[in-house]
Structure 1
Amino acid sequence: MAADWEIVQNLQNEITCGICRNYFSQPVTIDCGHSFCRECLSRSWSIRPFSCPECRQVPQIRQFPKINSNLEKLTDISLQLSPLNLQRAIERNQCPIHKKAFKVFCEEDQTSLCVLCFQMPEHRAHTLTPAEEAAQNYREKFREILSHLEKDFEEAKKYLSQEKEMEEGPDWNEMIMAEYCKLHSLLLDEEVQYLERLKEEQRTRKFRLSQHIGTIQEIMIEIQESSYNPNAELLKDIRELLGRGESVLSQRSNVIIPELREYSFPAMIDCLNKFRVDIRVDPKSSSSYVTVSEDQKTMRAEEGWQVDYSHAEDSTHHYVFADQAFSSGSHYWEVDVTQVSQWALGIYSPTLRKENSLFLLSCVKKENNYYFQTYPESLNHQVKDPVPRIGVYLDYSTGILLFYNVLQSSPIYRFYPLLFIKPVIPVFSPGPPLPGTKANLMTICSVNSHLCACCYSCL
């Protein structure tokens, strides 16, 4: 019995790593004959390269040894000889239901089966492999995975050393700060140019208004004087005088009502997209005037919405409300108004100015001209062309509500400051519809939807 114990002890010594003092895991043997766990030797050599941790001998061939498969098998066999491990191995290799040894492996279910299990109907159509063959196949897969992991490990170590070298290289903080300083300088130059352009346009508009006023005064005096002339003299130049009067009146819309200026800020829409939110309409807010689609993204004016177009400027808007309400932060959403000639967008929320709860930008069509109007304030500007998409930016804390022409990346109007005391709800109105036209859709754009000039030209 003592001899048997001595044999067991010697065997344990042969399969024990001299570094970790545990049984071998992936054993490797170096030139001097000593063996260690692969991971243990790797750690030892990271401190003292190519030196045996036991005898300190340095091997002639300085290369990491391969796994000693014979020693690995001996270790596995020795561990199985332990009475406790033997019992556990028996239990692990027995079917818990039938108490029979596992004989095959089911590839589909990735489970071991005994002779009774694989005869069951649910396994008959499955791929079954002998247990020993399956184990060997998976050992080979493990070796392949380990090989890839080792390569990844070495690559990661190499990149880590490169990162450390980069930290000692260029001062990236200084370079990034310098780039942003340059950008600030360019933006400042652009701001100065825009302000100069604005001043010039204001001077031009004042000059045109002054000229228009002078022309009106001249024609008024001439008409008044002509009205006192004898009949023959009054009728002599009547065609020319009436033509001049009508010409002055026709210039009113171009001179009195200003055209909305466009100042493009291409980078601004990109910045606003960081605050993009997924807005949906509350279907409960639909009515006989406006209906909401099932996806809660589109709205349509209904036939019941009748408008007295003899007083189109007094048209009543009927609204639907968003499903969301905002009580903090910054938010941005876009609305496609390509298909609707008249519309209104904005927010609803009581403010400290209790008489106002709606803040709106609306588009009104009169004859062949489009006009942007605001409520409750007094914007009334002509628009050269219909605007296909409107962006709405809300900053709750600072009380800013901004409308953008998305296609031109140009601001349209700003409400500021709005002192909110309750949550803000976006509102939408796809009308009033024009007489004789088909009611079309107003659509809230998806978060990932973007519009550019080249895209719009293809629509």
Structure 2
Amino acid sequence: MNGFNQVEIARVCCRNEAIGEKSIAAAMEKLQELQSEITCAICRDYFSEPVTISCGHSYCRACLSWTWRIGPTAFSCPECRQVSQVREFPAVNEHLAQLTDLSRELCSLLLQSAEGHHQRGRHKKALKLFCEDDQTPVCVRCSQSPDHGAHKLSPVEEAAHNCRKKLQHLQNHVGKRLEEAEKLLAQEERQAVDWDWMITGEYNRLHHFLLEEEFRCLERIKQEERASWDRLSQHMHTLQDLMLELQERSQQPNMELLQEVKQLLGRSESILCQRANAVIPELRECPIPGMIQMLSRFRVDITMDPTAASSCVTVSEDKKSVKTREGWEEEIMHPEDYAFHAVLAEQVFNSGKQYWEVDMTQLPQWMLGIYTPYLRRKRRRNEPTCDSVFLLQCLKKEEDYYLQTYPGSLEHRMKGPVSRVGVYLEYTSGTLIFYNVLHSSLIYEFHSIPFTGSVIPFFSPGLPLPGTKASPMSLCPVGLCVCCSS
């Protein structure tokens, strides 16, 4: 360490009576170069009994002891956080202590030399007055200049006395605050709460609850599947028995055939009417607690693009809802045509995770999904097809509602209409999921969609039922929670 040589040179310069302001500035510059070596990083003051730990950083003995006492990790460096392998408190670094003392002496000499120069102003006169407005000492001649003529001036002794009183007042105030901080710190140590342990316990408890709920949900699905299989099996046996009976009756003589034909025809008609309920399964409701709340982290504010709307629909002024125009009665021949009988969103997604919700409370029939022009259907032979529309559709037939997906295998009956649907899009994994928001249940999931370009949400209110007026399909406000909507 060459700090000793620098300090000695600066000290000799300061003791020279002929020292000038430039020499003082040079000595101050050398002292500033040593500041990082003789200053404690904790108290920001000169070292007092400096100690050096294994990582090479040095601190005041008292500061390091206080830090290790309150710190979460004992024997770790307050700067680099390296944990010392030596579990004993380090001894005082005498070499560094001597350098600190020399630097203190140098600082005092520099201040004395600088004060001697500052005692003489630009007029080479003693600075006997203090300008309260400019907060600077001045000589008598300067005090009479226009720069200080209207300022409040005080003798240097009086100004210094008043300054010491202010500093003493501040010192007392800081001392009281320091005592309060020490009391609060001691109180915090006595009443320390292990928040890490408690939070971890709550999440573990939540995981346990979700695992139990998952087990119950899967068991319920298995029971429903067994009941559905039994129902379909029974229906099949009923049809087989009916088929045998019809074959036998058709071979009977005329009189015997006509005697009970009325009952046979009625029973056959009744069995055939049970086909829809027996063959088309009912959509299972499997609520997932907290899922909608978690998805709300990815809520996006979507608006509809009137310029990208079909002539069959009309968009509201706020671009938040769409209705079917009167006169739309043409039949849709292919599911991809839905994108051309709908309205696209103004927002385009190329990455990330997004979630939005759509309200169709007044709509018995609707279509909802995404459109991407970069996944075209390939018509060539022996090549896989790639669809550009992925949708969920609701239809009403007689008294029942049916949900269908395209592409996909979902075709299920429902107990009643779905009034609010949540749509979750995860671009990277190619995931598109539809949720029944009010029941917090899953409707259907598309996965591994090979996105290669922009994805655009689309909305279609569908054809109104005969004798009914067109109703709107509306985007739910981002701030509207599930409880408010229900």
TM-score under structure 2 normalisation? 0.62
The one-character-per-residue Cα deviations of 1:77-104 (angstroms, maximum 9, x if unpaired) are xxxxxxxxxxxxxxxxxxxxxxxxxxxx
2:165 is the counterpart of 1:36 = yes
- Closer, same or farther in 2 for the Cα pair 1:386/1:7, shift >3 Å? closer
Contact 1:404 1:411 in 2 (8 A): yes
* CA shift for structure 1 position 316: 5.9
CA RMSD between the two structures: 3.0
Tell me which of 201, 221, 233 is aligned to 1:210: 233
Map 1:32-431; keep pairs closer than 5 Å. Answer: 36-37=165-166, 40-43=168-171, 46=174, 162=184, 165-166=187-188, 169-307=192-330, 317=338, 318-349=341-372, 350-351=374-375, 355-431=386-462
**SS in structure 2 at match of 1:266:** coil
**SS in structure 2 at match of 1:241:** helix
Contact 2:336 2:388 in 1 (8 A): no
- Closer, same or farther in 2 for the Cα pair 1:423/1:44, shift >3 Å? same
Identity, % of aligned positions: 47
The one-character-per-residue Cα deviations of 1:416-453 (angstroms, maximum 9, x if unpaired) are 1212111211011100222221111110111012234x
1:16 corresponds to which residue? Answer: 159
* CA shift for structure 1 position 369: 1.1
Within 2, Cα distance between the matches of 1:379 and 1:373?
5
Within 2, Cα distance between the matches of 1:348 and 1:276?
19
**SS in structure 1 at match of 2:422:** strand
- Closer, same or farther in 2 for the Cα pair 1:5/1:179, shift >3 Å? closer
- Provide structure 2 residue ranges, at least 5 long, that are not aligned to the other structure: 1-125, 131-138, 140-152, 377-383
Contact 2:128 2:155 in 1 (8 A): no
Within 1, Cα distance between the matches of 2:369 and 2:260?
53
**SS in structure 1 at match of 2:236:** helix
**SS in structure 2 at match of 1:36:** helix
- Provide structure 1 residue ranges, at least 5 long, that are not aligned to the other structure: 25-34, 50-153
Contact 1:315 1:432 in 2 (8 A): no
Within 1, Cα distance between the matches of 2:307 and 2:129?
85
**SS in structure 2 at match of 1:283:** strand
**SS in structure 2 at match of 1:253:** helix
* CA shift for structure 1 position 300: 0.6
Contact 2:335 2:406 in 1 (8 A): no
Within 2, Cα distance between the matches of 1:233 and 1:14?
137
Within 1, Cα distance between the matches of 2:363 and 2:188?
56
Contact 1:305 1:433 in 2 (8 A): no
Q: Report how many residues are paired.
A: 329
* CA shift for structure 1 position 12: 2.3
The one-character-per-residue Cα deviations of 1:299-358 (angstroms, maximum 9, x if unpaired) are 0111231045xx999896312100001111111100011111111001112349663110
* CA shift for structure 1 position 171: 1.6
Within 1, Cα distance between the matches of 2:385 and 2:430?
15
Within 2, Cα distance between the matches of 1:160 and 1:281?
59
* CA shift for structure 1 position 197: 1.3
**SS in structure 2 at match of 1:282:** strand
Contact 2:433 2:444 in 1 (8 A): yes
TM-score under structure 1 normalisation? 0.66
Within 1, Cα distance between the matches of 2:127 and 2:182?
50
* CA shift for structure 1 position 194: 1.2
**SS in structure 2 at match of 1:258:** coil
- Closer, same or farther in 2 for the Cα pair 1:314/1:399, shift >3 Å? closer
**SS in structure 2 at match of 1:373:** strand
- Closer, same or farther in 2 for the Cα pair 1:358/1:46, shift >3 Å? same
Structure 1 residue runs of 4+, over 3 Å off?
4-11, 44-47, 156-168, 311-317, 350-354
